[in-house]
Structure 1
Amino acid sequence: MKELKKIWRARKWMKSNEPFLYAWHAHVGYVHDLFDEFEEGTTVSDVANKRDMNELLLTRWADVGVAINHLKLDKDGKIHSKKHMVESISKNSDQSVGILLKEMMELHIPILLSYPDLLNSEDHASYQDEDYGGTVAATSSFIERFAFPKIHKCIKKTNAKSVIDFGAGYAGYLSRIGAKLEDMKLVGIEKNKSVCLEAEENIHFPLKSSISLYPDDMMTWQWDGDPFDVAMMNNLLYYFSPEDRFGLFEKAHEVTGEKGELIVISPIHESKHGIAFSAAFNSFMSAHDNLFPLPNRAEMVNLASETGFKLKEMKPVVKEGAWYFMRFQKA
């Protein structure tokens, strides 16, 4: 009986790893544009020769793809990419989520797999913004699509005419605002200079309001113009220690007007939704010496009260990921 139980448990754990194959296969295909190569139907040998790849390993990748329905093997031996894989993974598709896989497979999972060593060490990993800043900024755009309607509603409801975005990334939120509303003063601060420059060159929306972007550190940046109606801090809090987050909120208080509002989009720990994700996200953050744990609701309320704000609204943006929209107003 014990032997049967052991075998059953082994099968259970083997089966639990099967979903990883889908992510692994899609990630390799995304990195090397393989779903594009096989889109019209071709052989592994042709692709290997064209791309100077290891034919045996490419064959194994293709075998897995056929087995998990990412690829289709024709009777003539040619392999076709499934339509849904080209649409969702190809870099050339406007529906692509491949960059999300890249962040997960190259940033998050390697850190989680290093936990056995980290548990017995005083050393921590170090997040390199120069290496992954662009990737993280790009993946943030997925949250942006869900969060923006709430931000837009807030701006219209308060009749705001000026917005500053701290940690603007590729200026996704600002460009969406600028495309929707006229006569807005829109300012973004982004510490990563290369991201800031790319943002200026790749705004995808026709703008009704122009955007000013500054490649600067938000904590030392100074503004001598009129106060803003709204400040935003999205996907930002985990780059700052719990103590330093007071400085963020104080900065927002400093640059906003008398009835100024602060909008924060962030995963929230110990929230009603996405408990497993926030726990895993915290595991990733805590393994670094320059990333920090997610805040919980009580911390956000305390941050607000200590810096002259009051939490007025808190709604889930992506429930599965524990991402929330929070609106604060000067008390």
Structure 2
Amino acid sequence: MKFTLVTLFALLLLSCNNSDDIPAGGDNEPGRNFKQDMRDYVIGISRAAKSVKADFAVIPQNGMELVTTNGEDDGSPSAAYLAAIDGNGQEDLFFGYDDDDQATDSESSAYLRRLLDVSKNAGKKILVTDYTSTASKIAESYQKNADAGYVSYAAIHRSLDVIPASIPNNVNAGNITALNQAKNFLYLINPENYATKAAFINAVAATNYDAVIMDLFLNDEPFTAAEVEQLRKKANGGKRLVICYMSIGEAEDYRYYWQESWTKNAPGWIAAENPDWPGNYKVKYWNDEWQGLIYKNQNSYLNKIITAGFDGVYLDIIDAFEYFEK
């Protein structure tokens, strides 16, 4: 069945700056509340998705300061934001904050846990990705997350390009139909090791993870609803959730929406290239034109994900507010 989203805003014409290249940074935007802008953005995505598919899961990754009204770890819960999401993802909670396979310092872990528990106490599922490859540290990561009441995945590569050889933590044969039922998950958003969609599907289908977080595309070809249905089947006969990754705080020059002209004549909402990830560009995520590409127009990224039959969306670069606050 093909789903479509009601168009909330007309897509504006591209407004280009006069520079000869991608600008080094955005305007200061005095008076903006960048955290609230991101909250409103996520809430808009959630409302659009759930108006089409009520049980569609919305899971922001990182940017945990948004769960409180003042953005502090001792603040009051942000009720509207928490009501719009189904869980939170968090990287590097116990391993990987400063370097892969290294323990995260206790102060940073404690800070993040205070924010994560605001969400958990509101009934939201917490999905933690630790980056560690040593067997003893993997075991420690799973134990610490379990003790905290979180579901976790120990990623042996930060590139998220492999399926671990070990069986999933808390493996089970249950049918997982909602995020709060998941006891484990696989984070596999880089499919470069798979030459075809069939190879990727076969590799995932041979596992027993309760949920898989993956990309919409492989070799620039989107997965179809029939292929997502194949991915939904666990090897032991149970069913899993298939969640689609989507970056909403940066524009990526390898995505279908990217226009070559933007490299020299960038829209005004592109702020700067991410020095750590070439080809990824900071965007003024509150801009209607950018939001149109993500979820507000008929051919939006979100609409493609819903049409492909995914069970939810995993939203990345939620912490983009930090760039603009600085």
TM-score (norm 1): 0.31
Q: Which has the higher helix share?
A: 1
Higher relative contact order (CA 8 A, sep 6+): 2
